[in-house]
């Protein structure tokens, strides 16, 4: 029997990480060069002493994993790289949310990994990307002609400079994710009974009553209030449930054509809903102080809560903890009164979820090997291998055999806005969005419209909103004030 190489083994078996199978994402094996016809040389009178070939100096590259839960799967992909480049070793490391500040400080102090993920170096470093991160169009060998989206053109549109960060996948989708057995035990069926925003609120009310009566369950909807929820996720994702919250209305506020605190502000119904959800007990009483991983995600994984609003990661974490777990998903924002189409928020492809190279790496002796690794990791066949790890469609032309297979994709995303899917009537939003169009005008040291860089003020405002000490209008007035102080509107 022919011995399989590691590459062939991975083509024929499952490459797993956090319960994710990559079977079927084959990396083509190059055809061997035809053997040359042997020639007969005259036998020498004395055997020559062979001259050893010089060995390339071995280097070790420190590369950040996409997320800690995907480290094992990514490690196996980097094993393929090491087989092809025996003089380069990859030391993979991960960063959890609680470690983010310390990691940022370490990088600011001069630490230079070979490849960094933008997500953990700050959410809004648009002004700093140009100076701190390498212009990726200068890295020779990235097969841009294989990409289906012109990411460099988007970078120019949003930030005004060449591409600094490469995310070769469709954007991450956030939906409701829940345990199907708990949902059935509660006697609730969102797929059959939730078709409007009022239905959604009724679902939350009924589910919360059931959870309160069940000693084995702590929450129906568990949500941690980590700063990115009230500053980034809720303001971006939830408005599209409302007619006044569609993308054109959001963009009008960012472009200065309307105001964040107008009577028909896209964010007014969202803030009103979150206050209602908190005061009615649909959201945990201590939401603003709950930790993302150790409280919320741990509760969900242990089936002490029924559902969360989240991206693909908890699907994978729960499956890793219990391979028998059965999860379901539900599109995030069924339409409110006056909104005819059910909209599901999806960002544009250019986000902070991809990889970059710090400009400080240019001074490292292993800079050539860093570029080699970056090019290899972003070629189409490797992007196709990585795609099922994250459950995201690749932004490269797929091979004929490629088929995406991941928990969140199978559980909900593949049915949204796809003919024949259960949610073919639900439509994805389309960017660009206002915060992206205005990214190049965001001034250093300013909070942005929703206090992303002033977390103390953010928590004070939301505590005051939940307690009734601040009105929705007062909050939106502060949002408008922050917007005017943060963006160069000249």
Residue 88 domain flag: yes
DSSP 8-state assignment for residue 20: B
- For residues 133, 138, 141, 144, the Cα torsion angle rounded to the nearest 10 degrees is 80
Residue 25 domain flag: no
What are the phi and psi torsion angles at 326 (to 5°)? -120, 120
Considering the domain architecture, whether residues 205 and 292 belong to the same structural domain is answered as: yes
Residue 373 domain flag: yes
Cβ contacts of 300 within 8 Å, gap of 6 or more: 177, 179, 222, 307, 308, 314, 318
Considering the domain architecture, whether residues 375 and 291 belong to the same structural domain is answered as: no
Mean pLDDT of 269-290: 97
pLDDT of the residue at 68: 85
Q: H/E element holding 320? A: helix 313-321
Total number of domains constituting the chain:
2
Considering the domain architecture, whether residues 264 and 372 belong to the same structural domain is answered as: no
pLDDT band at 346 (very low <50, low <70, confident <90, very high): very high
Q: Is the pLDDT of residue 19 over 70?
A: no
Residue 156 domain flag: yes
Mean pLDDT of 277-298: 96
Residue 337 domain flag: yes
Other beta carbons within 10 Å of 204: 22
Residue 190 vs residues 36, 86, 90, 183: alpha-carbon distances, Å: 66, 52, 45, 9
pLDDT of the residue at 39: 36
Considering the domain architecture, whether residues 147 and 288 belong to the same structural domain is answered as: no
Residue 30 domain flag: no
Considering the domain architecture, whether residues 74 and 221 belong to the same structural domain is answered as: no
Residue 7 domain flag: no
Query: Rounded CA gap, 182 and 196, in Å?
Result: 22
Q: Is 411 within 8 Å of 307 (Cβ atoms)?
A: no
Phi-psi region for residue 300, left (φ > 0), alpha (ψ -120 to 50) or beta? alpha
Considering the domain architecture, whether residues 271 and 194 belong to the same structural domain is answered as: yes
Question: Domain boundary at 362, 377, 402, which?
Answer: 402
207-250 confidence digits (pLDDT tens): 999 999 999 999 999 999 988 899 989 999 999 999 999 999 99
pLDDT band at 67 (very low <50, low <70, confident <90, very high): confident
Q: Is the pLDDT of residue 88 over 70?
A: yes
The SS3 assignment for 227 reads coil
Considering the domain architecture, whether residues 94 and 220 belong to the same structural domain is answered as: no
> 432: cis peptide before it, omega within 30°?
yes
Considering the domain architecture, whether residues 293 and 416 belong to the same structural domain is answered as: yes
Considering the domain architecture, whether residues 198 and 239 belong to the same structural domain is answered as: yes
Considering the domain architecture, whether residues 189 and 159 belong to the same structural domain is answered as: no
Q: Is the pLDDT of residue 86 over 90?
A: yes
Query: Rounded CA gap, 336 and 246, in Å?
Result: 12
Mean pLDDT of 299-319: 95
Full domain range(s) for residue 88: 58-171+350-402
What are the phi and psi torsion angles at 427 (to 5°)? -110, 135
424-480 confidence digits (pLDDT tens): 999 999 988 998 889 889 888 888 999 987 889 999 999 999 999 999 999 999 999
Task: Estimate the crossing angle of helix 380-390 against helix 71-84, to 10 degrees.
Answer: 160
pLDDT of the residue at 186: 97
What are the phi and psi torsion angles at 157 (to 5°)? -65, -40
Considering the domain architecture, whether residues 398 and 417 belong to the same structural domain is answered as: no
355-384 confidence digits (pLDDT tens): 999 999 999 999 999 999 999 999 999 999
pLDDT band at 415 (very low <50, low <70, confident <90, very high): very high
- Nearest in space to 396 (alpha carbons), one of 405, 388, 387: 387
Residue 482 domain flag: yes
Query: Rounded CA gap, 245 and 118, in Å?
Result: 28
The two beta strands, 175-179 and 305-310, are antiparallel
User: What's the CATH number where 385 sits?
Assistant: 3.40.190.10
Considering the domain architecture, whether residues 370 and 270 belong to the same structural domain is answered as: no
Q: What integer best gives the mean pLDDT of the chain? A: 87
DSSP line for 35-87: PPPP-PPPPPSSPPPPPPPPPPPPEEEEEE-SSGGGHHHHHHHHHHHHHH-TT
């Amino acid at each position: 029997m022919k011995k399989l190489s590691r590459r062939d083994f991975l083509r024929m078996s499952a490459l797993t990480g956090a319960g994710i199978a990559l079977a079927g994402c084959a990396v083509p094996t190059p055809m061997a060069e035809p053997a040359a016809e042997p020639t007969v040389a005259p036998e020498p009178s004395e055997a020559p002493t062979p001259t050893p070939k010089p060995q390339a100096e071995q280097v070790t590259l420190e590369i950040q994993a996409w997320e800690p839960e995907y480290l094992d799967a990514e490690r196996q992909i980097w094993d393929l790289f090491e087989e092809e480049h025996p003089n380069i070793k990859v030391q993979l490391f991960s960063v959890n949310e609680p470690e983010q500040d310390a990691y940022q400080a370490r990088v600011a102090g001069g630490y230079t990994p070979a490849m960094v993920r933008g997500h953990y170096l700050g959410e809004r470093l648009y002004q700093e990307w140009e100076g701190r991160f390498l212009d990726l169009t200068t890295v020779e060998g990235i097969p841009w002609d294989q990409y289906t989206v012109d990411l460099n053109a988007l970078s120019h549109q949003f930030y005004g400079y060449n591409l600094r960060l490469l995310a070769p996948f469709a954007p991450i989708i956030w939906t409701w994710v829940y345990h199907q057995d708990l949902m059935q035990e509660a006697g609730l069926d969102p797929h059959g009974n939730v078709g409007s925003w009022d239905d959604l609120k009724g679902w939350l009310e009924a589910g919360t009553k059931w959870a309160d009566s069940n000693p084995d369950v702590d929450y129906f909807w568990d949500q941690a209030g980590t700063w990115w929820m009230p500053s980034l996720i809720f303001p971006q994702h939830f408005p599209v449930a409302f007619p006044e919250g569609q993308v054109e209305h959001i963009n009008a506020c960012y472009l200065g054509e309307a105001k964040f605190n107008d009577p028909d502000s896209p964010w007014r119904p969202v803030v009103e809903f979150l206050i209602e959800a908190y005061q009615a007990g649909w959201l945990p009483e201590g939401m603003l102080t709950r930790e993302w991983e150790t409280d919320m995600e741990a509760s969900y994984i242990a089936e002490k809560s029924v559902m969360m609003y989240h991206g693909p990661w908890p699907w994978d974490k729960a499956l890793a903890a219990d391979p028998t777990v059965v999860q379901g998903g539900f599109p995030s924002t069924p339409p409110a009164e006056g909104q005819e189409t059910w909209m599901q928020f999806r960002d544009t492809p250019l986000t902070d979820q991809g990889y970059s190279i710090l400009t400080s790496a240019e001074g490292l002796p292993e800079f050539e090997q860093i570029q080699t690794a970056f090019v290899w990791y972003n070629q189409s066949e490797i992007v196709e291998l990585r795609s099922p790890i994250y459950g995201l469609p690749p932004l490269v032309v797929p091979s004929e055999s490629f088929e995406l297979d991941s928990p969140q994709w199978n559980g909900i995303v593949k049915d949204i806005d796809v003919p024949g899917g259960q949610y073919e009537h639900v439509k994805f939003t389309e960017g660009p969005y206002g915060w992206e169009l205005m990214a190049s005008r965001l001034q250093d040291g300013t909070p942005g419209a929703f206090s992303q860089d002033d977390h103390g003020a953010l928590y004070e405002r939301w505590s005051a909103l939940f307690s009734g000490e601040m009105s929705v209008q007062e909050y939106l007035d502060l949002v408008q004030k922050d917007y005017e102080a943060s963006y160069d509107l000249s």
